[in-house]
Homo-oligomer: A and B are copies of this chain.
Amino acid sequence: MNERSLLSLIARRVERGNSDELVLGIGDDCAVLRPRGARHDWLLTTDLMIEGVHFLAGVHPSVSVGYRALARGLSDIAAMGGRPRFCLVSLALGENTRTRWLDGFYRGLSALARQHGVVIVGGDLSRARLAFCDIVVCGTAPRGRFLRRDGARPGDRIFVSGRLGGSALGLEQRRGPAWTRHLRPAPRLELGEFLRDHVGATAAMDLSDGLSLDLHRLCLASGVSAVLEREPPRFPGATLEQALHGGEDYELLFTVPAKAKPPAVFEGIPLTEIGFVRLGRPGRVWFRGKPLPPRGWDPFRQAAQ
């Protein structure tokens, strides 16, 4: 039982509904709605952050839990080239959750929201045997001009932003720059809009669960294979293992046509070519002459270990 098999079980139960105001349903970083008459498309995404799964009581300060909960959602909006606008916060307080924890959670969340002009417009509140939250982020993109993960075509070149593995390294070290990086990842919102408007990216998604798994997903959605020609750039101190399979870096993974020329650096963030798209078994990623197993973060596999 892994995430993919559960999702296919769900897919059998969920009808592919139709609506003239629905542009993109299940399967990408966001759903895309097109309100009748509206100038923009509206993006909707929802992300869980659960004690014992996405954060650890006693390890992650509550200010970082709130920050990272919203960062996950903002990163999904960035992956679609959108601009985040509103968010809703459903929060369950655990049996041991103190008022101080709640205060820190909202301080972290509000600080990131303010930074990106996101307004908190609602939510729900309850108690539970453990603390968790679900964040809904609502964003906009110019009509029909959002990025999606299923557009990669054979011959496209594959890029990543930033340096990978920092978040996994940080969780291991729990100090220094990598820990800071883990606690306060920066969603690549400006980069997402730049890719949409100036690079002509054919596909994009955010690196939430590790390059090996996320590139596999992008290829699966696009019906293509990929060749990883070189090691991804690593966060200082990170191992190749962490850069390939570590989650929560929240960098962007994107593909461009062979003749496109993305800049080497965007607002201080390196954009590095790491391989190319080719025909082949959908989802297969080649690295050093062998298939790269999609070993990124899967909450269900973690549970089984």
Q: What CA separation (Å) do A37 and B1 show in the bound complex?
A: 45
Q: What CA separation (Å) do A40 and B95 show in the bound complex?
A: 41
A59 within 8 A of B: no
Q: How far is the CB of A148 from chain B (nearest CB, A)?
A: 13
Residue in contact with A36 in the complex, picked from B7, B38, B128, B299, CB distance below 8 Å: B38
Q: Which residues in B have their C-beta under 8 angstroms from that of A44? A: 86, 88, 121-122, 136, 138
Q: What CA separation (Å) do A273 and B110 show in the bound complex?
A: 43
What range describes how many residues of A lie at the interface?
35 or more
Number of copies: 2
Task: Kindly report which residue of chain B lies nearest to residue A11, judged by CB atoms.
Answer: B106
Q: How far is the CB of A2 from chain B (nearest CB, A)?
A: 11
Q: Which residues in B have their C-beta under 8 angstroms from that of A140? A: 35
Q: Which residues in B have their C-beta under 8 angstroms from that of A146? A: none
Q: What CA separation (Å) do A123 and B45 show in the bound complex?
A: 7
Q: Is the interface of A mostly helix, strand, loop or mixed?
A: mixed
Interface residues of A in 96-117 (CB under 8 A from B): 99, 102-103, 106-107, 110, 113-114
Residue in contact with A88 in the complex, picked from B6, B13, B46, B53, CB distance below 8 Å: B46
Interface residues of A in 1-47 (CB under 8 A from B): 1, 3, 6-7, 9-10, 13-15, 17-19, 21-22, 24-26, 30-31, 33, 35-40, 42, 44-47
Q: How far is the CB of A254 from chain B (nearest CB, A)?
A: 21
A137-150 interface code vs B (CB 8 A; 1 in, 0 out): 01010000000000
Residue in contact with A119 in the complex, picked from B6, B25, B90, B92, CB distance below 8 Å: B25
Q: Given A6-B93, A36-B40, A52-B128, 15 other A-B contacts at CB below 8 A?
A: A10-B125, A15-B119, A18-B119, A31-B121, A33-B138, A35-B140, A42-B42, A45-B122, A46-B136, A47-B124, A54-B126, A95-B303, A127-B303, A128-B132, A136-B136
